[in-house]
Amino acid sequence: MKTNEVNKGTRIINFVIDTLAVSFISLILYSGLYSFDYAELYYLVFIFYYFIFEYFLGQTLGKMITNTVVVDMTNSKPSIRKTLYRTLLRLNPFDTVSYLFGLEQGGHDLISKTRLKNK
């Protein structure tokens, strides 16, 4: 692993923090929006959370805490298209499983041609 690449432990911390953040936001919104099914609302919040944070800031709350950032393969800010692909690919249940196969990058990174690096 290169010095600026992020290990699986850091990725797990990011995942847990971001899952808690999305759940918390969804729960707050759900308590006031009775016409929405919680699962539908959760996925909407999930998509907006990851897309907005990663496109505009390059980081989600989890990444801010672990001091990591999303970049493309040239170490630049990913394009809006790559950020959208990255966000939508996270919805694939196999994305989480992709970490079990020994790669430091998840499926959403490989397909969107992005990666996570230490800031």
Nearest to 55 by CA among 18, 91, 81: 81
The single residue listed with the structure tokens 């966000």 is: 87
Task: Note the pLDDT of residue 31.
Answer: 85
Q: Please give the backbone phi and psi of residue 103, each rounded to the nearest 5 degrees, phi first.
A: -85, 145
The neighbour count for residue 50, using CB atoms within 10 Å, is: 22
Question: What's the mean pLDDT in 59-68?
Answer: 98
Residues 8-21: pLDDT tens digits?
A: 899 989 999 999 99
Rg (CA), the chain: 14
Domain ranges of the chain: 8-118
pLDDT band per the 50, 70, 90 thresholds, residue 93: confident
pLDDT of residue 85: 96
Q: How confident is the model at residue 102 (pLDDT cuts 50, 70, 90)?
A: low
pLDDT band at 2 (very low <50, low <70, confident <90, very high): low
**Which pLDDT does position 98 carry in this prediction?**
74
Is residue 108 within 8 Å of 95, Cβ to Cβ? yes
